[in-house]
Amino acid sequence: MIRVALDAMGGDVAPEVEVEGALQALASLPQTFCIQLLGPAAALEAEVDKYPDADRSRIEIHDAPDIISMSDKPLQAIRRKKKSGIVVGLELQKTGKSDAFVSAGNTGAILAGSTLLLGLHDGVERATVATPFPTATKPVLVLDAGANVDCSVKEQVGFAYLGTVYMRDILGQANPTVGLLNIGEEDGKGNTISREVNRALKQCAGLNYIGNIEGRDILAGHSKFGHVDVVVCDGFVGNVVLKFYESVARLIFGLVRGKAPDILERADVRDAFQILDYSQYGGAPLLGIKGVTIICHGASTSNAIKNAIRVAVQAVEAGLSSHIGAEFASQEALAST
């Protein structure tokens, strides 16, 4: 039985949304996992009690009364709030009592906690947040999506390998293609660092690198060099694009709701707009750590939490973390020969 620890106090509407998402996951996903709810025990007991049909045999409650807020400084929060959901959940995983951690809380604290408590695989410079972007066909994985800025060439090359293993393990792409987010397709386009990263990626063994791609190619899912599965970028631009994209959905729904609300009742229209609903993808995996952490948006719905739990279970089942370790070990071995 896979044990998924869920920070029940992370999101904007905690613990209601987290508990609802956990119960949806237990009711609708294959029964290969149980949930470890993390938060103030009495409050969580009361919340779960609202659902008399819940499968209590697959729910554990772990007391974690400390609350890390969105404005807490990450490192300080991890060091001082030892009984927070983030620290308790990651300690469980570190000591072999849990297999995966899911949180919609303070991203910096989740990142710092995962790096400090679980550690990084040898050869990984920094853990990275990978975000699946919906496209008209299949999702494209963008990384880094905001965990790291001022990324070195070596780090960005690392993102390419991390994304490749994730696409293989979780999205079943046998030989995923990698593109570098840039401002032109030709070699030589870009800023100083992107030109260097492009040159480095072309030399990498074991990567299906197609070259530079542009902003428009992310959602198209392809550039003129072919389809794109993994998009590598510095976390600054990744974060700006990710937040911009979320705002597009909000803007369009807002305008349609204001001017032509009836069309949102139609199944075909909802189907067309579904691509804007990032909650279906659930969460963003933190890649490079020795373990499994899934980061959810602070505004996650219960459906997003459910899907993040699904991704966590898939990551454990696929052996994602050990595959990443093996990939980087072979790169290191290659580099030292």
Contacts with a copy of itself by CB under 8 A lie at: 135-136, 146, 149-150, 181, 183, 190-192, 194, 214-220, 233-237, 239-248, 250-252, 254-256, 258-260, 263, 266, 268-269, 271-273, 275-276
Minimum distance from residue 226 beta carbon to a copy of itself (Å): 17
Nearer to a copy of itself, 181 or 207 (CB): 181
Nearer to a copy of itself, 35 or 242 (CB): 242
Nearer to a copy of itself, 297 or 306 (CB): 297
Of the candidates 167, 158, 148, 124, the one whose C-alpha atom is nearest the C-alpha of residue 320 is: 167
Nearer to a copy of itself, 142 or 316 (CB): 142
Minimum distance from residue 170 beta carbon to a copy of itself (Å): 23
Q: What angle do CA 10, 39, 68 make, to 5 degrees?
A: 45
Minimum distance from residue 87 beta carbon to a copy of itself (Å): 23
Minimum distance from residue 234 beta carbon to a copy of itself (Å): 8
Nearer to a copy of itself, 169 or 217 (CB): 217
Nearer to a copy of itself, 185 or 332 (CB): 185
Minimum distance from residue 71 beta carbon to a copy of itself (Å): 8
Minimum distance from residue 133 beta carbon to a copy of itself (Å): 10
Tokens coding 246: 């979320």
Nearer to a copy of itself, 1 or 136 (CB): 136
Q: Which contacts (CB < 8 Å, 24+ apart) does range 131-135 have?
A: 131/238, 131/242, 131/284, 132/171, 132/281, 132/284, 133/218, 133/219, 133/231, 133/242, 133/245, 134/219, 134/275, 134/276, 134/277, 134/278, 134/280, 134/281, 135/218, 135/219, 135/220, 135/221, 135/275
Strand partners, 5: 36, 101
Tokens coding 8: 């029940």
| Cα(244)–Cα(293) distance, integer angstroms | 24
Minimum distance from residue 314 beta carbon to a copy of itself (Å): 26
Q: Which amino acid is at 59?
A: I
Nearer to a copy of itself, 2 or 276 (CB): 276
Torsions phi, psi of 255, nearest 5?
-65, -45
| Cα(241)–Cα(281) distance, integer angstroms | 17
Minimum distance from residue 38 beta carbon to a copy of itself (Å): 26
Of the candidates 74, 107, 67, 57, the one whose C-alpha atom is nearest the C-alpha of residue 88 is: 67
Nearer to a copy of itself, 194 or 279 (CB): 194
Minimum distance from residue 10 beta carbon to a copy of itself (Å): 18
Q: Which amino acid is at 265?
A: E
